[in-house]
Amino acid sequence: MDQDLVEKFKKQLEDMKDDIITDVEQTLTEMTSQSGNIPDPNDRASVESDRSFELRIRGRERKLMDKVDEAITRIDDGIYGVCEGCGEDIAVKRLEARPVAKFCIDCKTSQEQKEKAQGR
């Protein structure tokens, strides 16, 4: 993969990381600024439901952040775009769709089929 393309993916990954950090900061600001005294049980239930949903989203984003960091490390190590399963290059179209991809489409499909067979 040529260096310009690698730099494009690194910029995209860094932008993803910045977006996640911004979302987390916004969530923290919103959660700490809300009044804790909500007398109506229905309103309180709605607020708690919204908080729970936000925290689940942030949990997923934390996992994505870990994958983004791993991808940036692979770029720095010079192995970005190489499948961890078979060692072949990952298709650029796949990386454009999923810049954190560690496996080519064939290896990922095989992995998912094995997980499905094991009931995961």
Give the whole-angstrom CA distance, residue 18 versus residue 30. Answer: 18
Kindly state the average pLDDT of the residues 86-99: 95
Q: Same domain, yes or no, for 108 and 59?
A: no
Phi/psi region, residue 75 (left: phi>0; alpha: psi -120 to 50; beta: rest), is: alpha
Q: Same domain, yes or no, for 70 and 88?
A: no
Write down the pLDDT at residue 43: 80
Q: Same domain, yes or no, for 49 and 29?
A: yes
Range of the domain at 76: 1-80
* Residue pointed to by tokens 């996640």: 20
- In tens, the pLDDT along 38-62 reads 778 888 788 888 888 888 998 899 9
Query: Is residue 84 helix, strand or coil?
Result: coil
pTM attached to this predicted model:
0.79
The angle that helices 3-33 and 41-77 make with each other, rounded to 10 degrees, is 160
Domain count, the chain: 2
Q: Same domain, yes or no, for 98 and 108?
A: yes
Q: Same domain, yes or no, for 53 and 102?
A: no
Give the whole-angstrom CA distance, residue 118 versus residue 57. Answer: 27
